[in-house]
Structure 1
């Protein structure tokens, strides 16, 4: 089967051995797979490694076969992959044994994948293949950050720097679905307009004076994923006693924090990573209840993977990027 692998120091399309389903496993023929920023970083983290690794965490496809003991999926079932490995029940932090699909395990950028049946869910019927293929990692990350950790409520205001990211497009929709007010930022005027079309109430230029622009707003919750470039600016516009959830750092990940200012402000800081299967299922139910659709910016063939990765690295996208498979 054809797959995108990191081998040695290169990314390449390579013929890999077709997978076989063992006990409790299924083989999924991939229809669409989502590109995440994590996929950009893995080659650097692996360095020079002679063992080929199939990249990719997100995908949707069709069950091709099921191994012994699999009773809740059958050949032909349409499914999505849950990339949060071995985290089943909601908990304060991931359990021992938790990994994200795509390293060290082989990932989804291939024509087929073999995976535990515990890591697949039925595809929401209202989603296209491309929408389903880009869903799980970003939407689950956003769902846990906003609801489990952030505890957003109807009538509250959430502030989201970096409006163009895949997670941000889910956050905007999740928050609006439950009656929250949404404020986002972006340097790109088109992304600000797209955010407003998606439901954002206010879309600020990242380079503007946030304090001045938001002087009449009471921000209850900040969802931060940018890192050093915006963390303290975000904290400055958060109301006293407000909540800030961080799940990423697309800029530098070491932040200087005025701890006296922080404790006098009675702020609450939460870290968040991915989410449990319990939260994934709640997120899927949310999508179906609100007839919500992921934002797919663009699609590429697997042969154009390097072009897709360059597009993502330069932050050209609004929403998610999908690889499509003709099968």
Structure 2
């Protein structure tokens, strides 16, 4: 079988032949059809220096067909078309992950391979209205967006939501989820082309964050936001306190723009603003997210599909930030 194996920080990634896995105990063997990239794959590749001797197969998102089962798994699962939950061992507290929590793809072997083995508790039936490629573009980003919007921000219909950095997978899922929930959605991007595409998907207005006056423009256009969903952090984070309404909620799940530098403390307490950090989500949230996607027949925005042999091209596409939607790998 083939796999994309991470063997060390910044070392070139390529498809390698490795020994085919065998499922044990409660595991299933999944023949992967598609996988999808996340910024996490870039960060792992660029930043992680603690790598096992045998390396780690990257990839958190994937879909495929069960071809084998371990001792304690139901043989009737064989042939099932599945989507994989990459949120491993969350723990018992729904508010925060436990000490054993991991995300599929590092340090556990992930989805960028012909086959993978995983506990049966992390596989779910693929939504019928999604192709394998579409299903692969769901798990990590849709779960992240769902928890941010509904579990953390407690979105209500008709509220005004600002989603930053539209173009990434989680931001686009947040846009689709909020639209489906009858929110009024605004977006930011550094690309006017991406802003236009987001408006075609239902955003009311978009603001180019490269314009130093973008926050003032957003406040004037919206009258203020109930919720900000942010994946960037960075120096612009402080502007959110100025443009959210009293009682506003700000949720962050990323650092593409770096660390947050300064916040106006008086605005934080006087406007009674809530700031939440969030990562991934629970099994129950994954199930609720899948139900939301199925019941509303939502589909991911896919930017481009690469064969798994072109993993370096796929990573370069994500690194240059030009994508609009998920970058998918074709495996089978």
**TM-score range with shorter-chain normalisation?**
over 0.9
Q: How does 1:105-120 map to 2 (within 5 A)?
A: 105-120=108-123
Counterpart CA distance in 1 for 2:127 and 2:91 is: 20
1:25 to 24, 27, 37: 27
**Superposition pairs of residues 83-232 of structure 1, within 5 angstroms:** 83-87=86-90, 91-208=94-211, 209=213, 210-215=215-220, 216-232=222-238
In structure 1, what is the Cα distance between the partners aligned to 2:95 and 2:192? 37
TM, length-normalised to structure 1: 0.96
Alpha-carbon distance in 1 for matches of 2:196, 2:91: 38
Q: Structure 2 residue aligned with 1:46, among 30, 45, 48? A: 48
Is 2:64 the partner of 1:61? yes
Q: Which moved more, 1:191-200 or 1:254-263?
A: 254-263
- Number of the residue aligned with 2:4: 4
1:75-114, CA deviations, whole angstroms, 9 ceiling, x for partnerless residues?
Answer: 1100011000022767111123110001111111000000
Structure 2 CA distance for partners of 1:72 and 1:159, relative to 1, 3 Å: farther
Tell me the secondary structure at the aligned position of residue 19 of structure 2: coil
Give the secondary structure class of the aligned counterpart of 1:131: helix
User: Shift in Å at residue 32 of structure 1?
Assistant: 0.3
Partner of 2:328: 322
CA RMSD of aligned residues (A): 1.6
CA distance in 2, matches of 1:248, 1:207: 19
Distance, in Å, in 1 between the alignment partners of 2:218 and 2:138 is 33
Unaligned runs of 5+ in 2: none
- Distance between the aligned counterparts of 2:297 and 2:231, measured in 1? 26
User: CA shift at 1:293, angstroms?
Assistant: 0.3
TM-score by length of 2: 0.94
3-state SS, counterpart of residue 26 of structure 1: strand
CA separation of 1:212 and 1:43: change in aligned 2, threshold 3 A: closer
Q: Which residue does 2:250 correspond to in 1?
A: 244
User: Contact conserved, 2:234 with 2:257, CA < 8 A, in 1?
Assistant: yes
The reply to whether residue 283 of structure 1 matches residue 283 of structure 2 is no
Q: Any idea what the Cα deviations from partners look like across 1:211-247, whole Å, max 9, x if unmatched?
A: 2342252310011111114211222211122111111
> In structure 2, how many angstroms separate the alpha carbons of the residues matched to 1:147 and 1:79?
25
Q: d(CA) in 2 for partners of 1:205 and 1:308?
A: 25
Matching residue of 1:71 = 74
CA 1:94–1:138 in structure 2 vs 1: closer, same or farther (change >3 Å)? Answer: same
Deviation, 1:266, is 1.3
Q: Which moved more, 1:292-301 or 1:65-74?
A: 65-74
Distance 2:218 2:240 in 1: 13
Tell me, yes or no, if the aligned pair for 1:5 and 1:11 is still in contact at 8 Å.
yes
Worse overlay, 220-229 or 142-151: 220-229
Note the C-alpha offset of 1:64.
0.6
- State the SS of the aligned residue for 2:200: helix
Shift of 1:73: 5.4
Match of 1:301 in 2: 307
What is the deviation of 1:294?
0.6
- Which is worse superposed, 257-266 or 299-308? 257-266
Structure 1 SS opposite 2:227: strand
